[in-house]
Amino acid sequence: MPAKRAPRPTARPIAVESVAAATVQLARAPVASAPVANAPVAIAPVAIAPVASTPNADSGSPDAYRRRPRQSRGQARVELLLDAAAAVIAEQGLHAATAEAIALRARTAKGSLYQFFPNRDAVLAALALRYADEMRAIHERAFPIDPHGLPLDRLIDRIVKPLAEFHDTHPAFRRVFATVEGPGDDTRSAPTRLRAQLFDSFVDRLDVLFAARNPKLATRDRRRVALVAASLGQSLLARRGRAVAAEKKPLLDDLRRILLAYLQPVLEPPAVKTKGEAKPAPKKR
* Full pLDDT tens readout for the chain, 285 residues: 555 555 544 444 333 333 333 333 333 334 333 343 444 333 333 344 444 444 443 433 445 655 566 678 888 999 999 999 999 999 999 999 999 999 999 999 999 999 999 999 999 999 999 999 999 999 999 997 777 788 999 999 999 999 999 999 999 999 998 755 555 455 567 888 889 999 999 999 999 999 999 999 999 999 999 999 999 999 999 999 999 999 999 999 999 999 999 999 999 877 665 555 556 666 655
Terminal CA-CA length for the chain: 125
Cα–Cα distance list, 82 to 109, 116, 121, 189, 238 (Å): 14, 11, 12, 18, 22
Is there a contact between 55 and 189 (Cβ–Cβ < 8 Å)?
no
Contacts of 34 (CB under 8 A, 6+ apart): none
Q: What is the pLDDT of residue 178?
A: 74
CA 104 distance to own-chain centroid: 31
CATH level 2 (architecture), domain 63-267: Orthogonal Bundle (1.10)
